[in-house]
Amino acid sequence: MCQLISNVSSGTINYFKNRTFEVHFFWLLGFSSKYYAAYKIIAINKKKNQSVWLLNNVIFPIIVILSPYILTIISEHFHTIEFTKSFTAILIGGAISLLGINVLRTSSTIISEKLNYDNIPSEYTSKVTEIENEINTLKKRLTGWSWVLSVIGFLLYFIQTAQLINDTNNVVYWFLLGILIVLLLSLFFGRFISLMESNLFDREEFTKLLFSSLITQNNDYNDLALQLKNQGLL
């Protein structure tokens, strides 16, 4: 029994240590392992602008949204002004949902940009059409998720601004959880979309990795399909 618990514990640690959960997360969102690999490659390549993106799209806007709570603190302790909005009331005021929608819609302008293939290594020029098809498929899925989350965000925003949820009722916490989940997904897809900018192939080493990730795995699948067909299994 102790050995079983130890094995389960070790497996759980490795699951998170090796970040296997990320692969499963992508799978739940409808992205295969090759698109997960592509995301990791692109994200590492564009890591230098990650902190700037987070500051401008996440950190500063959230500080602005939560700043009115300072007035509540002043009101409670100094009684110089009358402002009694709770932290929860501020969170369900609609601004959080607007933040998610804004990140998605702003990022979506980038996804329509035409990629620059000028810096692609010569050995990959014959595969430009293949990589372009794969990237267009990825872009379409990202665009689809962007619209789905935008619509959900709009509905949540409408409910909040119409004040259909009472912040004194315990159900508000479930509603707030839903808002935060949609926000996190919106930020994830917003960041993913923003990575798909026109200078995607600006560094040779990452370009080679990206081509091998998106095309090689696809060829492996085709080879397997042909083998199964020859064996009469397809």
Q: Could you tell me the CA-to-CA distances from 33 to 12, 36, 168 in Å, in that order?
A: 20, 5, 44
The string of pLDDT tens digits covering residues 88-134 is 888 888 999 999 999 999 998 888 778 877 778 778 888 888 888 88
Q: Any residues with CB less than 8 A from the CB of 211 and at least 6 apart, and which? A: 124, 127, 131
Cβ neighbors of 1 (< 8 A, separation 6 or more) are: none
Cβ atoms within 10 Å, residue 31: 19
- DSSP secondary structure code for residue 92 in this structure: T
Q: At what angle do helices 204-211 and 33-45 cross, to 10 degrees?
A: 180
Instruction: Calculate the average pLDDT of the chain.
Output: 83
pLDDT greater than 60 at residue 233: no
pLDDT 10s digits, 140-173:
999 999 999 999 999 999 999 888 887 777 888 9
Q: Which letter does DSSP use for residue 115 in this model?
A: P
* Per-residue pLDDT tens digits for 179-214: 999 999 999 999 999 988 877 887 878 888 888 888
Amino acid of residue 192: F
pLDDT of residue 5: 55
Which pLDDT belongs to residue 49? 85
pLDDT in tens, 209-226: 888 888 765 555 566 566
pLDDT of residue 79: 67
